[in-house]
Structure 1
Amino acid sequence: MTIKVSIDASGGDYGIPVTIVAGVKALGAFADLHLVFVGDASSIQAQLDQHPDSKKLAKRFSITHASEVVAMNESPAIALRKKKDSSMRVAINLVKDNTVNACVSAGNTGALMAISRFVLKTIKGIDRPAIMGRIPTMDGHTHMLDLGANVDSTPKALLEFAIMGAIAVKHTENISAPSVGLLNIGEEEMKGNENIKKTSELLENSNLNYAGFVEGDDIYKGTVDLVVCDGFEGNIALKASEGVASMMGHYLKQAFTKNLFTKIIALIATPVLKDFKASLNPGKYNGASLLGLRGIVVKSHGGADAESFFQAIKEAHLEANAKIIKKIESQVASELE
């Protein structure tokens, strides 16, 4: 089976120079992958011509021209109403038309969610899509949603997030019954606001493998396979973890360049430091899923480099191979009865 993915080639902070390099790498990594690069056709072709592997892979990609680009600071409403030939919109349209199995974009998150929801619509039984991403832990990674698509989510919405997330984790990570935790300020039953307490009751009465409340430090311990929260808290937790990783890197560099002795120690410790940096690199976990839509859309970090954007394509390929939308559609109705 061929997996076809549309790439919003012009989206993100760096656009075509990054997305094309990442795309060609993905084609080399996945023999069943076909890519549709969407954006300014001449610029895309010029970038492809510079890549040494593009000619031998030419049968496995195509270019679809789009005359507009959604700016990173653009209003979602403007992007939705006035830029109907943007690379983002055209790439998503290809998912709706069943031309491709998934779409990847590093563009404006608000615009991507607005356009995706308008074009693809939500799965029956799901009120709002949510953003799910991977978070590094002590023993690998966990999954977390919502990471910023919704604020002030109701208990019903949080239950929907949990159901969608658990299905996605089950079929992309091969975990038969993913453990689900609800983010809270404490593990005790009396902790949290009424919204959280009501959500916990719904989760306890569901068919999910609900493990109860988890605190912020549990995210990075890998206590559960899936952490559920409102988008407000989720986005703060995500950005905080990225900030901590940057701060640790800063202080390590400062410590190892303090004097000649520490520089020598740093030279000896280079392999360890490289492993440490790689384990905390947010780009390694790049590629967040917009769950709840009638099509696969993966959001890359706006400032992703080629290696990080490759990870987002890898996530789209994984979800398409797992037929994640059909599995969510088939299970969500029974779970919400």
Structure 2
Amino acid sequence: MKIAVDAMGGDFAPHNIVAGVVEALREQNRITRLFLVGDTPRIEAELAKLGPRDPRLEIVHATEIIAMDDPPVQAVRRKKDSSMCRAIDIVKRGDADAILSAGNTGALLTAAHLKLRTLEGVDRPGLACLIPSPDNVFVLMDAGANLEPHPINLVQYAVMGSLYSRQIVGYKKPRVAVFSLGTEEMKGNELTLEAHRLLKLSDLNFVGNIDGHDLFANVADVIVADAFVGNAVLKACESTARLIGRYLKEELKKNPIRILGAFLARGAFNAIKRKADPDEYGGAILLGVNGICIKAHGASSPKAVKNALRIAVECVEGQFNEHIVEEIKKLHDKLQQTKSA
């Protein structure tokens, strides 16, 4: 399989991106060709620090970079020779199976939607991310792609999110829930109420509504929401994790006894850190476009880039998009039968 990587996207590009790519190639023999797209001299300089070059690497020069604060639509239209756009073009031509970028999220979603188009039967693509909780890892979708969805979009997100949960996380029958104001069926707005009704008609393992209280209570494995709510939930989770970490550090350093206790409990702290480490999950994936599109965090470490490439490999190898088309068709047939009846 072949993967295109935006080497210039992200807060620590190209250093972390190139280092992550090199780590991934050392572990992944399933990648037959990897295109590093960006400023050739800067990429060459990073590769020179990392030992002998893997023969599967190919540098594709791009003269422009889409900055993190560039307006997404304008950037995609005006910076046609940007590393991000050139990497997506490689997928569009069929020369690569997947694209990975840690760059401007809005620009990546816009470019992928415009250039790759949606899969057959998919109305609007959505961004799916993995969030760890004490007893399970759940898929949150949409985490930032579609601010004004229709109810059927949420239902399609549930289908794609369930497939992602089965194929990547390994849950045989993922539980699906709609994020709402409360768990009662009658609570919510027009969007969530109609999505709830349609999901009850589907063949998914739909468990109803979920609210913020039960987010980490192992109630659902796939949680669907519009992009505004989903992104707010994601950012709130990230900031809460940072806040708790800061509180712990401050309190544990206040006196020698606490410092000793922290030392003795370092194994437990390291285990918690590993469970909550976003780098373990690589990045989010834009589901519903023609091609595998991975969005890594802007501050991705080499480890995060390596794991994001692992997810890309698993999706390509598992023919993920082909399965999406099949599952969406089954959904449409099911809803049409119900409507006819």
TM-score by length of 1: 0.95
The match for 1:301 among 273, 297, 303 is 297
Which residue is 1:27 aligned to? 25
Which residue is 1:76 aligned to? 72
SS class of match (1:99): coil
Q: How far has the Cα of 1:8 moved from its partner?
A: 0.3
The answer to whether the aligner puts 1:280 opposite 2:276 as a matched pair is: yes
The answer to whether the aligner puts 1:47 opposite 2:46 as a matched pair is: yes
The answer to whether the aligner puts 1:120 opposite 2:119 as a matched pair is: no
**Residues 99-118 of structure 1 mapped to structure 2, 5 A cutoff:** 99-118=95-114
Q: How far has the Cα of 1:38 moved from its partner?
A: 0.6
Deviations 1:74-116 (A, max 9, x none): 0112222111111101111111112111110001011001100
Which residue is 1:327 aligned to? 323
Q: Aligned partners of 1:293 and 1:240: how far apart in 2?
A: 27
Which residue is 2:15 aligned to? 17
The 8 Å contact of residues 135 and 220 in structure 1, kept in 2 or not, is answered as no
Q: How far has the Cα of 1:217 moved from its partner?
A: 3.2
Q: How far has the Cα of 1:153 moved from its partner?
A: 1.8
Which residue is 1:233 aligned to? 229
Q: Aligned partners of 1:64 and 1:315: how far apart in 2?
A: 23
Q: Summarize the Cα distance change of 1:216–1:206 in structure 2 as closer, same or farther, 3 Å threshold.
A: same
Q: Counterpart of 2:6 in structure 1: which amino acid?
A: D
The 8 Å contact of residues 282 and 309 in structure 2, kept in 1 or not, is answered as no
SS class of match (2:55): helix
Q: Aligned partners of 2:170 and 2:133: how far apart in 1?
A: 18
SS class of match (1:25): helix
Deviations 1:8-57 (A, max 9, x none): 000011111000100011111111123211101111111111102x43xx
SS class of match (1:38): strand
**Residues 173-322 of structure 1 mapped to structure 2, 5 A cutoff:** 173-322=169-318
Q: Summarize the Cα distance change of 1:194–1:77 in structure 2 as closer, same or farther, 3 Å threshold.
A: closer
Q: Counterpart of 1:26 in structure 2: which amino acid?
A: A
The 8 Å contact of residues 168 and 328 in structure 1, kept in 2 or not, is answered as no
The 8 Å contact of residues 294 and 325 in structure 1, kept in 2 or not, is answered as yes
TM-align CA RMSD: 1.4
Q: Summarize the Cα distance change of 1:165–1:28 in structure 2 as closer, same or farther, 3 Å threshold.
A: same
Q: Counterpart of 1:232 in structure 2: which amino acid?
A: F
Q: Aligned partners of 2:132 and 2:326: how far apart in 1?
A: 30
Q: Aligned partners of 1:126 and 1:14: how far apart in 2?
A: 34
Could you list the runs of 5+ residues in structure 1 that have no partner in the other structure?
none
Q: How far has the Cα of 1:219 moved from its partner?
A: 2.5
Q: Aligned partners of 1:315 and 1:84: how far apart in 2?
A: 27
Q: Aligned partners of 1:277 and 1:168: how far apart in 2?
A: 24
Q: How far has the Cα of 1:286 moved from its partner?
A: 3.1
Deviations 1:232-254 (A, max 9, x none): 11111101111111011101101
Q: Counterpart of 1:76 in structure 2: which amino acid?
A: P
SS class of match (2:216): helix
The answer to whether the aligner puts 1:86 opposite 2:56 as a matched pair is: no
SS class of match (1:220): coil
Q: Aligned partners of 1:133 and 1:218: how far apart in 2?
A: 18
Q: How far has the Cα of 1:162 moved from its partner?
A: 1.1
Q: How far has the Cα of 1:285 moved from its partner?
A: 2.6
The match for 1:135 among 113, 131, 146 is 131
Deviations 1:198-243 (A, max 9, x none): 1101000112111111122333223222111111111111011111
The 8 Å contact of residues 127 and 285 in structure 2, kept in 1 or not, is answered as yes
The answer to whether the aligner puts 1:161 opposite 2:160 as a matched pair is: no
Q: Aligned partners of 2:57 and 2:247: how far apart in 1?
A: 43
Q: Aligned partners of 2:184 and 2:110: how far apart in 1?
A: 37
Deviations 1:155-203 (A, max 9, x none): 1111111122122222333433322111112111221122211110100
The 8 Å contact of residues 138 and 221 in structure 2, kept in 1 or not, is answered as yes
Q: Counterpart of 1:144 in structure 2: which amino acid?
A: L
Q: Aligned partners of 2:136 and 2:25: how far apart in 1?
A: 26
> After alignment, is 66-75 or 188-197 more displaced?
188-197
Consecutive aligned runs of 4 or more in structure 1 exceeding 3 Å deviation: 173-176
Q: % of aligned pairs identical?
A: 35
The answer to whether the aligner puts 1:146 opposite 2:142 as a matched pair is: yes
Which residue is 2:36 aligned to? 37
The 8 Å contact of residues 3 and 99 in structure 2, kept in 1 or not, is answered as yes
Q: Counterpart of 1:304 in structure 2: which amino acid?
A: S
TM-score by length of 2: 0.94
